Amino acid sequence: MSSLHSLDIQSLLAGYQKNDFSVQEVAKSCLEAISKKNPQLNALLEVSKDRVLARAAELDQKKSDAQRLKLFGVPIAIKDNILVKDWQCTAGSKILQGYRSPYTATTVARLEAEGAVVLGKANCDEFAMGSSNESSAFGPCRNPWDLERVPGGSSGGSAAAVAGSLCPAALGSDTGGSIRQPASLCGLVGIKPSYGRVSRFGAIAYASSLDQVGPLGKTVWDSARVLEVISGWDRFDATTSKAPVPSYSDALKESTLKGLKFGFCKSWLEGVDPAVQKAFENSMQLLKQAGAEIVEIDLPYTKYSLSVYYLIAPSEASSNLARYDGVHYGFRAPEFKDSETLYNRSRGQGFGKEVKLRIMLGTYALSAGYYDAFYLKATQVRKMIQQDFSNAFKKCDAVLTPTSPSTAFKLGEKSDDPLKMYLSDVFTLPVNLAGLPAVSIPCGLDDLRLPIGLQIIGRPFDELRLLQMARVHESLFGVLKHP
């Protein structure tokens, strides 16, 4: 069975139930796919064959658990900014090269408790800052649909690992679109949960008021299953909610659009690639045919999302990244005469350009004399963006947008101008600022056969309905055949 690595989660679970194959066979198939394809893709930064096979053997010993565990024997790649005990965790940065996690993130602990196999650590933009995976200190990751193109970012390695069929699912993190945009560019289902739905304990902080961990998978069912496992209150993250976690995957059976209203904002389509626009309009038709109503809405303050995000996220980052000082972890500059030079030099040499840019942006926005005009103003406009959405949700049950204004772009194409790169997240940023859940699902291919994504944004903690909507779209549009 050489193609076990390309099975989705649902098929794997069914196969285990019927005793069609063992966890070790699946793990070996994934490891083979990795040794064949990863040198080109650079999707995974660390794969521990020994650990993976040991874990697989341990699960095969407990075959009866296949009935009980939600992710029994499912290999999952973990973005390299999420801690897994004894595995490396670099966040794509030279400053954390060689760092070994002393503990496991809550999300990963929950995956393992349900029988998942940690397969490897996935490449990402440095400290999750980027939309193309090009800011990784360990080289760019490539899009399996076209190796000349980026997989998106910052969870680019997670997306490429799944789209390239190295494994059926991956964990990513999303601060401004870092799960949804790569899901869109790689033809996957990526979920950014409501703020507070999923624990951030053990996820390396970028911007704490925006960060959420979430899944990338090939189907709505697969991503829904991973989400229900990682969601829920965590005593180690005071911002997690105690709201009960429904079984999202089971609830997909009852998916319907009857009586539901989708909102869309006409002005958002300006400047979007024609192919993306066409696929988006086609999706609206599909949803209408399935019984939904489409209404026009206005989100007047969301046009400031880019400015608001690039003040708030860097401000929080400048504080969160202060801990990398050449003393506690990882990289230390070889030459220094006093502790001041030790800090400045270790940070100057250890961080890449995009990270330094954002740390300085944040430092500037928080510094005396600029705080009111930049940081405070941004938090006030953020509030208005939240209000935009709560007003919209009086008229509709969910908001539709393209996930990204374009399909996958070429390596190097947008790296000369930071704003060009930042604009690839123009539809995803407002969602993080407002703390809402959103999903990106495949909705088409352009002329070059590159995937296009549709974003559905839901009310806070309305993941269940959001995923049911996504499921109906998937049943009409179908699942992409991955390269």
Partner 1 sequence: MVLLMLSKEEVLKIAQLARLELSPEEVVFFQNRLGRVLDYMKELNGVKLEAAATVRHVPEDAEPFREDVVEEAFDREAIMRNAPALDEGGFSLPAILESE
State the minimum distance, in angstroms, from the CB of residue 149 to partner 1. 24
Out of 53, 275, 294, 376, point to the residue binding partner 1 (CB under 8 A).
376
Site string for partner 1, 416-435 (x = CB under 8 A): -xxx---------------x
Structure tokens at 271: 């400047």
Among 57, 113, 295, 360, binds partner 1 (CB under 8 A): 360
CB of residue 178 vs partner 1: minimum separation in angstroms? 18
Measured in whole angstroms, how far is the alpha carbon of residue 117 from the centre of its chain? Answer: 19
Q: Is residue 374 at the binding interface for partner 1, with CB under 8 A as the rule?
A: yes
Show the site string, 59-98: x = touches partner 1 by CB under 8 A, - = not.
---------------------------------------x
Query: Helix (H, G, I), strand (E, B), or coil: what is residue 403?
Result: coil
The reply on whether position 412 binds partner 1 by CB under 8 A is no
Nearest approach, Cβ of residue 413 and partner 1 (Å) = 17
* Contact residue for partner 1 among 127, 201, 310, 427 (CB under 8 A): 310
Catalytic entry in 135, 178, 223, 315: 178
Using the minimum distance from each CB to partner 1, give the nearer residue, 168 or 314: 314
455 forms beta bridges with 401, 440
Angle between helices 49-61 and 23-41 (to 10 degrees): 160
| Under 8 Å between Cβ of 176 and 308 | no
Tokens of 457: 């944004």
State which of residues 325, 371, 446, 476 lies at the interface with partner 1 (CB under 8 A).
325
Q: Does 481 contact partner 1 by CB under 8 A?
A: no
For 308-365, list the strands marked E by DSSP.
Answer: none
Alpha-carbon distance 271 to 255, whole Å?
33
CB of 327 to partner 1, least distance (A): 5
The H-or-E segment that residue 163 falls in is: helix 156-163
In the complex, what is the shortest distance from the CB of residue 359 to partner 1, in angstroms, rounded to a whole number? 5
Annotation says 318 is catalytic: no
Among 53, 357, 445, 476, binds partner 1 (CB under 8 A): 357
**10 is a contact residue toward partner 1 (CB under 8 A):** no
Q: Which of 16, 145, 248, 301 binds partner 1 (CB under 8 A)?
A: 301
Considering only residues 137 to 196 of the shown chain, the ones binding partner 1 according to CB under 8 A are 195-196
Pick from 52, 141, 359, 452: which binds partner 1 (CB under 8 A)? 359
| Stretch near partner 1 under the rule CB under 8 A, chosen from 143-151, 181-189, 356-364, 437-445 | 356-364
Distance (Å, whole) CA 376 – CA 316: 13
Q: Is 346 a catalytic residue?
A: no
3-class SS at 206?
Answer: coil
- Tell me, residue by residue from 326 to 355, as one string, x for binding to partner 1 by CB under 8 A and - for no binding: xxxxxxx---xxxx-xxxxx-xxx-x-x--
- 391 lines the binding site for partner 1 (CB under 8 A): no
CA geometry: angle 59, 61, 67, nearest 5 deg: 65
- Which of 185/299 has CB closer to partner 1? 299
Residue number with CB closer to partner 1 (241 or 282): 241
Q: Of 29, 21, 23, give the one whose Cα is nearest residue 2.
A: 29
Query: Cβ of residue 209: shortest distance to partner 1, in angstroms?
Result: 5
**Maximum separation of any 2 CA atoms in the chain, in Å:** 70
Three-state DSSP state, 387? helix
Interface positions, 196-215, toward partner 1 (CB under 8 A):
196, 209
- Which residue from 194, 187, 169, 200 is spatially nearest to 10, judged by alpha carbons? 169
Q: Considering the complex, what minimum distance in angstroms separates the CB of residue 278 from partner 1?
A: 29
Residue selected from 356, 446, 476, 483 as contacting partner 1 according to rule CB under 8 A: 356
CB 439 within 8 A of CB 455: yes
Determine the interface stretch with partner 1 among 75-83, 104-112, 131-139, 414-422 (rule: CB under 8 A).
414-422
Can residue 40 be called a binding residue for partner 1 (CB under 8 A)? Answer: no
**CA–CA dist 462, 466 (Å, integer):** 6
Q: Are 351 and 359 a contacting pair, CB within 8 Å?
A: yes
Nearest to 21 by CA among 59, 76, 68, 69: 59
The rounded distance, in Å, linking the Cα atoms of 469 and 407 is: 23
Categorise residue 202: left if φ over 0, alpha if ψ from -120 to 50, beta otherwise: left
- Whichever of 178 and 318 has its CB closer to partner 1, that residue is 318
Of the pair 61, 380, the CB lying nearest partner 1 is at 380
Q: What 3-state DSSP class applies to 48?
A: coil
Is residue 241 a contact point for partner 1 (CB under 8 A)? yes
Provide CB contacts within 8 A for 263, sequence distance 6+: 294, 295, 296, 297, 392, 395, 396, 398, 399, 400
- Does 384 participate in binding partner 1 (rule CB under 8 A)? yes
**Other beta carbons within 10 Å of 294:** 14
**Candidates 29, 48, 154, 255; catalytic one:** 154
Question: Does the annotation count 64 as an active-site position?
Answer: no
User: Which one of residues 386, 445, 475, 477 is an interface residue with partner 1 (CB under 8 A)?
Assistant: 386
**Rounded Cα–Cα distance for residues 142 and 311 (Å):** 29
How many whole angstroms separate alpha carbon 396 and alpha carbon 261? Answer: 5
Active-site residues, by number, are 79, 154, 178
